[in-house]
Chains A and B, each alone.
Chain A
Amino acid sequence: MAAPLTSAGSTRPHVSEARALLLSALVLLAGIALGAAGFFVERGMSTWRPEITRTASGWLVVQTQRTPLGALALGGDSLVWANGPLIVRMDLRSGRLKLLGPGPLARSTWDPAVSQRYVVWFEAGAASAGEASAWVYDSATRRRRQLATLGDVLSLPSASGRRAAWCTTLSDGAPGIVAVDIPTGEQTSVAPEYGIPVIDGDLVTWPTRTGSAGMPAAWALVDVSGGRRWSIVPAATLPNARLLGYDLSGRTLVWAETDPASGRGRVVAENVDDGAADVVAEVNDGSSLTAAPSIDGDLVVWAEERAAATGSRVMGRRLGGGPSFIVRDVAGRVLSTAAGGNTVAWLMQRGQTSTIETAQAPR
């Protein structure tokens, strides 16, 4: 009996199921290896990551020969800074970095503000400030989203708890200070006027009516929960003083002022309810104040540059008692300081090297 005819060309060898599974798994693994290699190569080529080192008391962030670091902010477990237009967050528990902004459609950013859980900053698609939007990063959900659209950017954002505040042009084109509830995005008008606000809890403050020498003639205060508004007059000011910067925590407003003529400087803390003032620090030995002070709870920190620019000191003091103390002696010029809980952070520039360092303040 003749064998049945077979169709021409059907001589494909039989491949066992196990071999087929193995070969397809190899294809999968080859693809995974390629994808992983691409990820790590791209990460290695990124230029925004500075050198991070853990120290005995905190962290050291160093960037050399690239865009200087700036816009230091500290809150909760977040240390945030700007690297050119980039907004970078470092988790103080792990040292891990995250690039928060700008987003894919934005080109420029403004200095960020940090509360316990949120980081708030502005982004714009172009260099002009007329089309900016506020963005927020939530460290609990690890998510970033748009918080609000802005008119003109008239101040940097300030953040505390679940609120942020800033000054922008309102719908009628006039300047106004607004407070925003971050989880809901609900905006509250704080004051229909220009100001550079700082918020802590329910309290917003900004300097009003600049005096002839550059110090504010008064500080406006608004309790956003009840709508109450009042003013205080800065106490214990130096003659011919110029305002270096200010901060707010609880019911205490703290500012730094300098007298360019005499070289004297002073850090003052004032109670916003009764106006009682305390001179936190007096600088008149040839040293000079170089940055705005920062306050969190009872801890005030500031920076002094030593005479003949031979270095700087990051200083601290606990309100309610005790002398001031040196947090750190550094070789460069301290550009800004920040206090968050018991953590102190400072940004320093020395030649082409920008450094951010954190340390624990003594109790």
Chain B
Amino acid sequence: MLLWLLVELCVLNVADLLLTRYSLWLGFARESNGVMDYFFRSGTVPTVAFKIGIVTVGALLLWRLRHYSTALIAAALLAGVFSAVVAYQALWVLSF
């Protein structure tokens, strides 16, 4: 189950990046995360590298710790929260 949750996490991360990028391009949104705002202003390559990289590293870490039940709980919480954020973003974009 941990593997499926980590796969979901990575897919949701890509969806979050695409939706955020599109919302910023529409001009109706502003990135409130200072770190991500810096990367968005730096360009596409740094943004993709940072966003994909940091979540991938986190997922690999959780996989490394797969023998502990805490890793499963953490992955489930992260996937749940991430899916809530992506669902909210998707509905917001679709409302345009």
Contacts and interface: CB of A to CB of B under 8 A. Distances in A.
A144 B28 contact: yes
Contact of B27 (A27, A35, A40, A144): A144
A24 B4 contact: yes
Category for how many chain B residues contact A = 20 to 34
Interface string B1-33: 101110010000000000000000111111000
A28 B27 contact: no
Given A27-B80, A34-B84, A35-B84, A20 B4 contact: yes
Interface of A: 15, 19-21, 23-24, 27-36, 38-40, 43, 98, 103-105, 142-145
B26 A144 contact: yes
B87 A36 contact: yes
Nearest to A96: B95
Given A21-B4, A24-B4, A143-B27, A39 B91 contact: yes
B76 A27 contact: yes
Contacts of A104: 29-30
Contact of A105 (B3, B30, B82): B30
A39 B84 CA distance: 10
Nearest to B94: A39
17 contacts: A15-B1, A27-B5, A27-B79, A27-B80, A30-B83, A31-B81, A31-B83, A31-B87, A32-B87, A33-B87, A34-B87, A35-B85, A36-B87, A39-B88, A98-B96, A105-B30, A142-B96
B83 A32 contact: yes
Interface centre among B25, B26, B29 (most CB of A within 10 A): B26
Chief secondary structure at chain A's binding surface: helix
Contacts of A98: 96
Contact of A28 (B3, B83, B92, B96): B83
Contacts of A142: 26, 96
A32 B82 CA distance: 9
B86 interface: yes
A38 B27 contact: no
B81 to A, nearest CB: 7
